[in-house]
């Protein structure tokens, strides 16, 4: 007679039922028996121990997550084993919920927790700004933003540094005119240099062997899915690097961490850089004061890692997607180039001071970010206390996800929500129009710290490139990918470049 007790026979052996029994007992002992609490948001069935496993045995797909608001409303729930998760939708409710102190903490997620274990040799899982919470997060974020702003972060005074990098990139592109060009990693080095000049006071040339090797093996954020059921098994992060599927990400993390630590060591041996105005020098001087143990070398390494990965990937992904989408829509390319020619002319390069005079350019840049929809459900937040959100009782430890995907795709907020159309950001008079549903950098107190820099970078790269070049799509290898319900991957393709007569 067949029953659950015969699962272990045959090729599988006897290990599977034993493993499941041990896992069940472990979760039970750790107090993660679960189930749906009283006055908890509606959603998928949540059973003890297994959570919503019966509804989504491999974790939630993007389709499942997109269907939650329609079926259950603006506060919808599910669970992965013992982790209860609430998806918060609607622009106003997201602003309300993620503007509260109760929702500002970060749970342990694979990317940051595993990174922190490697970086500190197991001493800490909460360093940097992406993966920390509470006082540590507040101190590090406040210090980082204050001193980066003093150095020109997100200000027009930093324009000359950006222009220098863009000029070198354009010189490279001129040499590639007429030949199919793989765009995937085209912008990474230039974007890194803009960050690196501010953080470390230096830059990398195109032949920099160490950086080129690192970029060639770069593991994109979209390869890490915080909603993978495996990540919700207690203490699994301690053995993650032994698992074959995750070894690639582990190796990349270790390479990048080693790269950053070597760069910091070289920086500390250079008296000129140490005594100059850059973020690393300022942070080292804060460590030397010995006034706050939260300012230490582990934190410096983690902050630089956060700036390197987040700063590079968001901007380079948007630029890669811009060339792709605009190449596929020649009428958009013609119109934005006409606006650049009319408002800026051909005798000089665009500047930040031109931004308000280029409504169609602004609309196109914002529409690229909207369609890319890079961060779909925010990095997870966690309730740091029992609280009432959206009329529901949310126990401490509940994960909270902002439904940025719905805000960027819903016909409730956009004229032409499912197509690439810069008119989504223009009023009836052709003027640029803001939209509160546009939140590609997140929402609330943990909105991306690099938003102001990314906005200026995108404007300068975009306007300089399309003023000087016309792009044509040659071969599309892979469109914008949504395999990961949390993050999108930029498209992979080849394009040709034609210099415009200036």
Instruction: List, in sequence order, every residue forming a beta bridge with 83; answer none if it has no partner.
Output: 80
Distances (CA, A) of 145 to 87, 181, 382, 439: 29, 36, 23, 20
Within 10 angstroms of residue 457's Cβ, the number of other Cβ atoms is: 27
Strand 181-182 vs strand 492-499: parallel, antiparallel, or unpaired?
A: antiparallel
Grade residue 34 by pLDDT with cuts at 50, 70 and 90. low
* pTM of the full structure: 0.90
CATH architecture assignment, domain 31-499? Orthogonal Bundle (1.10)
Percent pLDDT > 70 in the chain is 90
Q: Which residue has the tokens 């850089």?
A: 273
pLDDT at residue 249 tops 80: no
Within 10 angstroms of residue 205's Cβ, the number of other Cβ atoms is: 9
pLDDT digits (tens, 9 = 90+) for 270-283: 999 989 889 999 99
- Show the tokens assigned to 155: 């200000």
Instruction: List, in sequence order, every residue forming a beta bridge with 105; answer none if it has no partner.
Output: 382
Residue 499 among known ligand-binding residues: no
Q: What is the mean pLDDT of residues 258-281?
A: 92
pLDDT digits (tens, 9 = 90+) for 177-211: 999 999 988 998 899 899 998 999 988 887 778 77
Rounded to the nearest angstrom, the gap between the alpha carbon of residue 384 and the centroid of all alpha carbons in its chain is 23
- Per the CB < 8 A criterion, the answer to whether 42 and 48 are in contact is no
pLDDT at residue 3 tops 60: no
Q: What is the mean pLDDT of residues 107-123?
A: 85
DSSP 399: E
Percent pLDDT > 90 in the chain is 66
pLDDT at residue 9 tops 70: no
Q: Where are the beta strands (DSSP E) in 367-428?
A: 381-382, 387-389, 392-394, 399-402
Segments making up each domain of the chain, as ranges: 31-499
- pLDDT on residue 219: 67
């Amino acid at each position: 007679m067949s029953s659950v007790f015969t699962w272990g026979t045959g090729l599988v052996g006897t290990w599977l039922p034993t493993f499941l029994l041990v896992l069940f007992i472990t979760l039970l002992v750790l107090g993660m028996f679960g189930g749906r609490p009283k006055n908890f948001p509606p959603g998928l069935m949540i059973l003890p121990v297994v959570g919503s496993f019966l509804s989504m045995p491999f974790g939630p797909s993007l389709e499942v997550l997109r269907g939650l608001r329609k079926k259950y409303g603006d506060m919808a729930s599910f669970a992965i084993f013992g982790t209860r998760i609430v998806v918060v939708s609607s622009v106003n409710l997201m602003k309300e919920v993620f503007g509260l102190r109760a929702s500002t903490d970060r749970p342990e997620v694979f990317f940051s927790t595993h990174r922190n274990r490697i970086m500190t040799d197991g001493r800490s899982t909460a360093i940097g700004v992406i993966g920390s919470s509470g006082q540590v997060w507040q101190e590090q974020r406040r210090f980082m933003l204050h001193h980066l702003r003093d150095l020109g972060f997100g200000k027009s005074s930093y324009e000359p540094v950006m222009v220098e990098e863009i000029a070198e990139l354009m010189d490279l592109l001129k040499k590639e005119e007429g030949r199919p060009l793989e765009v995937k990693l085209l912008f990474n080095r230039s974007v890194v240099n803009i960050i690196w000049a501010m953080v470390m006071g230096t830059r990398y040339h195109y032949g920099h062997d160490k950086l080129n090797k690192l970029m060639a093996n770069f593991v994109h954020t979209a390869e890490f899915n915080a909603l993978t059921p495996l990540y919700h098994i207690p203490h699994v992060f301690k053995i993650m690097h032994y698992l074959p599927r995750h070894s690639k990400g582990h190796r990349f993390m270790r390479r990048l961490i080693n790269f950053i630590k070597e760069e910091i060591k070289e920086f500390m041996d250079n008296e000129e850089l140490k005594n100059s105005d850059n973020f690393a020098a300022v942070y080292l001087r804060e460590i030397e004061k010995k006034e706050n143990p939260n300012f230490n070398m582990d934190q410096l390494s983690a902050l630089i890692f956060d700036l390197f990965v987040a700063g590079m990937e968001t901007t380079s992904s948007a630029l890669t997607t811009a060339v792709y989408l605009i190449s596929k829509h020649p009428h958009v390319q013609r119109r934005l180039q006409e606006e650049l020619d009319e408002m800026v002319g051909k005798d000089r390069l665009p500047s930040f001071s031109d931004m308000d005079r280029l409504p169609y350019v602004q609309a196109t840049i914002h529409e690229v970010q909207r369609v890319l929809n890079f961060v779909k459900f925010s990095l997870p937040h966690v309730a740091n206390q029992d609280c009432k959100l959206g009329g529901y009782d949310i126990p401490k430890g509940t994960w909270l996800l902002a439904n940025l995907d719905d805000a960027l795709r819903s016909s409730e907020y956009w004229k032409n929500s499912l197509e690439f159309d810069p008119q989504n950001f223009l009023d009836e008079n052709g003027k640029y129009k803001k939209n509160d549903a546009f939140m590609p950098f997140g929402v609330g107190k943990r909105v991306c710290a690099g938003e102001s820099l990314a906005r200026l970078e995108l404007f300068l790269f975009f306007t300089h490139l399309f003023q000087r070049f016309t792009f044509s799509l040659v071969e599309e290898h892979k469109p914008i990918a949504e395999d990961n319900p949390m993050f999108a991957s930029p498209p992979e393709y080849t394009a040709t470049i034609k210099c415009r007569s200036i």
